Chain A
Amino acid sequence: MLCEKCKKNNASVFYEENINGKGRSYALCQTCAEELKKSGELPSENLFESFGFSSPITQLHDSLFGSLFSLGEQSMHLNAPKSCSACGSTLRDLQKNGKAGCGECYKTFSSELEPTIRSIHGNARHTGRVPEAYREKHARYNEIKMLRQELKDAISKEDFEKAATLRDKIKELENNK
């Protein structure tokens, strides 16, 4: 594979970016990667250079990542005075770093971040392992989800007796929060 920058040498340094859910991979030769480093886009790291590791393209990767939160800028009211009550981060901070300041940031800015999160993962609802403290709640959520599907099926089959039972069951589970 040839280097994408000079198109002469064989590419030996690879990195990927993922912006707005669109992935793209780049391939560079050592010389072009070094040039990027000299121009300041890739700060060098002495520890690893002294052991002959390749230049830390991760730095470039990180700066590309920084734009993760810039997605959906219109919906992110950048001038909003809102800041996270736990760590003091503002939306601007999140956008600048491409990372959240603390767990609370995700709650504070949930509506602004949702489009970004959805575009990264193509989904915005967790499924999988759950900490013990949340297990019961999570199981109830899954059961309600399953019953809703059954209710939909029952209605489409005009089995109203079953639908009524399912509806009551869902209501009961929802009230048990």
Chain B
Amino acid sequence: MAWYNKIGNDFDTVISSRVRFARNISGYPFASKLSGEGAKEIISKVSDVYLGEGFTKIDFSDITNTEAASYVEKRYVSREFAIKKTPHALLMNETTGSAIMICEEDHIRLQSILPGLALNEAYKIACQYDDLLDRALEISYDEKLGYLTHCPTNLGTGMRASVMMFLPALTMADRIGVLASQLSKIGLTIRGMYGEGSETKGCLYQISNQVTLGMTEEETLKKLSDVISQINEQERKLRSSIRGENLERLRDRILRSEGILRYAHMMSSEELAEHFANIRLGIALGITANISYAMLGNILIETLPATLTLSLEENPRGEAERDRARAEYIRKALC
């Protein structure tokens, strides 16, 4: 079962936790200087390490643009990876929530994603797969700089740990800007759901570490966890401070969103993002009792443009058809 169909710890505020390692194989230049042949060799070597471990290989040269975009929507690969023209492949193990991008910016980007707040668990899984790699191949490493990466911003541990948070109350109170500047001072960063530059749709934010050199993985995870628990506290406090008329207005907004999702026949992704945020908050506050987190999480991912297109028998002709198909998917899912 995919990560977005499961629920996890602190699920009222945390959607998912992810840990990824950037690794390169010694003896090969980094991506910008790597030949097509070199890339194919790397794909073959890395695949050999993992194919007996419950991973499936997806060669991105063999799939359509829609399929590639769907992997981005499900957060298994980066946009940069999906649009690469040179050979690149993905290894997936949905049971452990692990995805390994081969020949992205670094030769290997190994990530583990779990629902809810589960940074340490995701880290353990990533380490387990990193050990397999370490035993089988010579990894580019320097005693002083740690794991050598294409971009100097990943040197050291090569680890990026991120937590996707759902922060409607902080968004409504216009506190995200302040939070962003506070986080940047302590080497953390906050951005939209799909990484750098993406829109902050549906009050979903990704908080991750910026610094990778000079701090151990455990120290980084501890720092991130501490901050997440502080943000959690602020968000919950704000949510519980909504009372009286404001609470009535919020209840009205949440239940209207539920009504729209249950009966609408056209639904754009942008509109869904807004209703998603309302209903998710409604579940947390006990206002929308008939919709579960799992139902909503599934709707959010399965109705994203490329993933939705893939689930249809015929490719939708234009946006209107897709919006109709999205509304239909949602109505059925909420039945």
Residues of chain A touching chain B, judged by Cβ–Cβ distance below 8 Å, are 1, 12-16, 18, 23-25, 27, 30, 45, 47-48, 50-58, 60-61, 65, 68-69, 86-87, 89, 97-103, 106-107, 113, 116-117, 120-134, 137-138, 141
Is B82 positioned at the interface, with any CB of A under 8 Å from its CB?
Answer: yes
Q: Which of B128-147 contact A (CB under 8 A)?
A: 130, 134-135, 138-147
Taking A23-B189, A132-B134 as contacts, is the C-beta distance between A58 and B79 under 8 angstroms?
yes
Closest A residue, CB atoms, query B23: A131
> 16 A-B contacts, Cβ less than 8 Å apart?
A13-B197, A24-B184, A53-B79, A54-B192, A61-B197, A97-B32, A101-B29, A101-B33, A103-B148, A106-B155, A116-B152, A120-B152, A123-B214, A126-B146, A126-B156, A129-B127
Closest A residue, CB atoms, query B269: A52
Judge whether B211 and A122 touch: CB under 8 Å.
yes
Q: What are the residues of chain A within 8 A of B147 when measuring CB–CB?
A: 126, 129
Judge whether B305 and A52 touch: CB under 8 Å.
yes
Closest A residue, CB atoms, query B205: A14
Q: What are the residues of chain B within 8 A of A23 when measuring CB–CB?
A: 184, 189, 210
Is B242 positioned at the interface, with any CB of A under 8 Å from its CB?
Answer: no
Judge whether A103 and B24 touch: CB under 8 Å.
yes
Is B176 positioned at the interface, with any CB of A under 8 Å from its CB?
Answer: yes
> From residue A20, how far is it (CB to closest CB) to chain B in Å?
12
- Distance of A25 Cα from B182 Cα, bound (Å): 11
> From residue A155, how far is it (CB to closest CB) to chain B in Å?
27
> From residue A116, how far is it (CB to closest CB) to chain B in Å?
7
Judge whether A27 and B177 touch: CB under 8 Å.
yes
Q: What are the residues of chain A within 8 A of B192 when measuring CB–CB?
A: 14, 54
Which of B30, B174, B198 contacts A99, CB < 8 Å? B30
Taking A47-B69, A51-B306, A121-B156 as contacts, is the C-beta distance between A126 and B213 under 8 angstroms?
yes
Judge whether A61 and B196 touch: CB under 8 Å.
yes
Judge whether A128 and B215 touch: CB under 8 Å.
yes
Q: What are the residues of chain B within 8 A of A55 when measuring CB–CB?
A: 197
Judge whether A101 and B30 touch: CB under 8 Å.
yes
Is B65 positioned at the interface, with any CB of A under 8 Å from its CB?
Answer: yes
Which of B69, B80, B152 contacts A100, CB < 8 Å? B152
Judge whether B150 and A100 touch: CB under 8 Å.
yes
A-B pairs with beta carbons under 8 A, tally: 191
Is B194 positioned at the interface, with any CB of A under 8 Å from its CB?
Answer: yes
Find the residue from B24, B72, B149, B213 having the highest chain A CB count within 10 A.
Answer: B213
> From residue B64, how far is it (CB to closest CB) to chain A in Å?
10
Q: What are the residues of chain B within 8 A of A57 when measuring CB–CB?
A: 196-198
Find the residue from B130, B135, B146 having the highest chain A CB count within 10 A.
Answer: B146
5 closest Cβ contacts across the A-B interface? Answer: A123-B214, A57-B197, A126-B146, A121-B213, A103-B140
- Tell me the interface secondary structure of chain B in the complex: mixed
Q: How many interface residues does B have (CB within 8 Å)?
A: 72
Closest B residue, CB atoms, query A26: B197
Judge whether B197 and A14 touch: CB under 8 Å.
yes
Find the residue from B79, B140, B142, B196 having the highest chain A CB count within 10 A.
Answer: B196
Is B47 positioned at the interface, with any CB of A under 8 Å from its CB?
Answer: no
Judge whether A100 and B148 touch: CB under 8 Å.
yes
- Distance of A86 Cα from B218 Cα, bound (Å): 34
Judge whether B143 and A1 touch: CB under 8 Å.
no
Q: What are the residues of chain B within 8 A of A47 when measuring CB–CB?
A: 65, 68-69, 82-83
Is B229 positioned at the interface, with any CB of A under 8 Å from its CB?
Answer: no
> From residue A94, how far is it (CB to closest CB) to chain B in Å?
9
Closest B residue, CB atoms, query A86: B29
Is B199 positioned at the interface, with any CB of A under 8 Å from its CB?
Answer: yes
Closest B residue, CB atoms, query A138: B143
- Distance of A116 Cα from B138 Cα, bound (Å): 27
- Distance of A39 Cα from B140 Cα, bound (Å): 39
Judge whether A125 and B214 touch: CB under 8 Å.
yes
Q: What are the residues of chain A within 8 A of B29 when measuring CB–CB?
A: 86-87, 101-102
Judge whether A126 and B145 touch: CB under 8 Å.
yes
Which of A48, A103, A131 contacts B69, CB < 8 Å? A48
- Distance of A57 Cα from B79 Cα, bound (Å): 11
Is B75 positioned at the interface, with any CB of A under 8 Å from its CB?
Answer: no
Is B200 positioned at the interface, with any CB of A under 8 Å from its CB?
Answer: yes
Closest B residue, CB atoms, query A51: B305
> From residue B22, how far is it (CB to closest CB) to chain A in Å?
12
The 0/1 profile, CB within 8 Å of A marked 1, for residues 270-289 of chain B is: 00000000000000000000
Which of B144, B155, B309 contacts A121, CB < 8 Å? B155
